[in-house]
A = this chain, B = another copy of it.
């Protein structure tokens, strides 16, 4: 029997009624002749509620205990989903990450899946049960400690299970109809993407698109596992993320540009008056790396020859802002720079498309669209299939709309696919 893996996020499991609806959909898939394995997130806002409780008890809770706490969320939702399925006359068995054989690294709060040993799952499937697995969690390889995969980790759990079980497809159910050419809340003309490559999906996810967890796409690419991103609130086809060729008869969609992503979660730090001598940049970025700060874009100004000083700007997650500034202040004597500027009023706009490789005119069109909308570009970075720019945060929405239009991505059906775009739980 073919195996289908499904993932339901917190917004699809907000209350008892939502859980019953999800159970209905799961049993429909079983009834259609599939073995079904489901990865679930915690219900609705319960993750945030647990976090609030932790903060009330301790301002800096130990990571091990935070993982122990957070994993209770999926335990609750998986048991309830199993009960709802049983109420529909099917048998279900729920398993924690540890029971399901999700083996991870030992990094609490941000563990990586090393292996999946789904012995108990295949045994339960063999007995005709529907299997529900707690997403977002696993057990560390050597220390046997409970770990979590970080926000969005249930997507990765689902893909890893699908790969380990040799599933046909991994269906990621969310509260939107699929992956869009832009966030429809900002670009109302955004269209649903029918089919997208892993490479493009990775760049979109890394550039701020929140529909899929970045690591789940990496995992899917590595194991060549097709992901079907779709809504748990409708039966519409969603977006297929895959590198496999489209089935025959289906129109081969090969647009130059896959979509536009935006990101407001970053800040910019400028290190002013850095002596323009060998090794200064290395000193700065080594100190930041040691402090485990993720750097995104970096720009070094051309040195002013008369002073021998230069400025270095970089972007980073706002959540790392305080630590980064403290780290830099500590090394200011050693490096010998003259000042630090912190700016959290920036936005990042990214254009992603595999077609960029063979279409040299893309960047020109991109910059022209921004210029015509009078959006100032503060930083630029590119990959083979992506161009990203930093703008003022309050100009980001308009910039996104202008670029979306310039590349012909706007929907021709104004009442069409665009629906509210949101997170996917975790």
A16 within 8 Å of B (CB atoms): yes
Is B78 in contact with A75, judged by CB distance below 8 angstroms? no
A281 within 8 Å of B (CB atoms): no
Is B64 in contact with A93, judged by CB distance below 8 angstroms? yes
The listed residue (B69, B82, B91) touching A80 by CB distance below 8 A is B69
Is A57 in contact with B94, judged by CB distance below 8 angstroms? no
Q: Which of A48-56, A251-259, A346-354 faces chain B?
A: A48-56
Is B54 in contact with A83, judged by CB distance below 8 angstroms? yes
Residues from 36 to 82 in A contacting B, C-beta threshold 8 Å: 50, 53-54, 56-62, 64-66, 68-69, 71-73, 75-76, 78-80, 82
> In the complex, what residues of B have CB within 8 A of residue A99's CB?
144
Q: Closest CB-CB distance, A63 to chain B, in whole Å?
A: 10
> In the complex, what residues of B have CB within 8 A of residue A144's CB?
99
A324 within 8 Å of B (CB atoms): no
Given contacts A72-B72, A72-B76, A76-B72, contact A65 B53 (CB under 8 A): no
Q: Closest CB-CB distance, A61 to chain B, in whole Å?
A: 4
> In the complex, what residues of B have CB within 8 A of residue A78's CB?
68
Q: A253 vs B66: C-alpha distance in the bound complex, in angstroms?
A: 48
- A residues whose Cβ falls under 8 Å from a Cβ of B: 16, 19-20, 50, 53-54, 56-62, 64-66, 68-69, 71-73, 75-76, 78-80, 82-84, 86-87, 91-94, 99, 144
A19: nearest residue on chain B (CB-CB)? B57
Copies of this chain in its oligomeric complex: 2
Is A79 in contact with B59, judged by CB distance below 8 angstroms? no
Is B71 in contact with A83, judged by CB distance below 8 angstroms? no
Given contacts A84-B57, A86-B58, A86-B62, contact A75 B79 (CB under 8 A): no
Q: Given contacts A61-B83, A69-B75, list 8 more A-B pairs with CB under 8 A.
A: A16-B57, A50-B76, A54-B83, A57-B83, A61-B87, A65-B94, A68-B82, A68-B94
Q: Closest CB-CB distance, A148 to chain B, in whole Å?
A: 12
> In the complex, what residues of B have CB within 8 A of residue A71's CB?
75
Is A58 in contact with B87, judged by CB distance below 8 angstroms? yes
Is A65 in contact with B86, judged by CB distance below 8 angstroms? yes
> In the complex, what residues of B have CB within 8 A of residue A84's CB?
57-58
The listed residue (B20, B57, B76, B91) touching A87 by CB distance below 8 A is B57
Q: A73 vs B73: C-alpha distance in the bound complex, in angstroms?
A: 10
Is B61 in contact with A86, judged by CB distance below 8 angstroms? yes
Q: Could you say which of A71, A72, A78, A99 has the most chain B C-beta atoms within 10 Å of its C-beta? A: A72
Closest 6 CB pairs of A and B: A69-B79, A16-B56, A58-B87, A68-B79, A61-B83, A58-B83
**29 residue pairs bridging A and B, Cβ less than 8 Å apart:** A20-B57, A53-B76, A54-B83, A57-B80, A57-B83, A57-B84, A58-B84, A58-B86, A58-B87, A60-B87, A61-B83, A61-B86, A61-B87, A62-B82, A62-B83, A62-B86, A62-B91, A62-B92, A64-B93, A65-B92, A65-B94, A66-B79, A68-B79, A69-B75, A69-B79, A71-B75, A72-B73, A72-B76, A75-B75
> In the complex, what residues of B have CB within 8 A of residue A61's CB?
83, 86-87
> In the complex, what residues of B have CB within 8 A of residue A66's CB?
79, 83
Q: A166 vs B82: C-alpha distance in the bound complex, in angstroms?
A: 40
Q: Could you say which of A68, A86, A94 has the most chain B C-beta atoms within 10 Å of its C-beta? A: A68
> In the complex, what residues of B have CB within 8 A of residue A79's CB?
54, 65-66, 68-69, 72
Q: A406 vs B94: C-alpha distance in the bound complex, in angstroms?
A: 56
Q: A20 vs B65: C-alpha distance in the bound complex, in angstroms?
A: 15
> In the complex, what residues of B have CB within 8 A of residue A20's CB?
57
Is A72 in contact with B69, judged by CB distance below 8 angstroms? no
Q: A16 vs B57: C-alpha distance in the bound complex, in angstroms?
A: 5
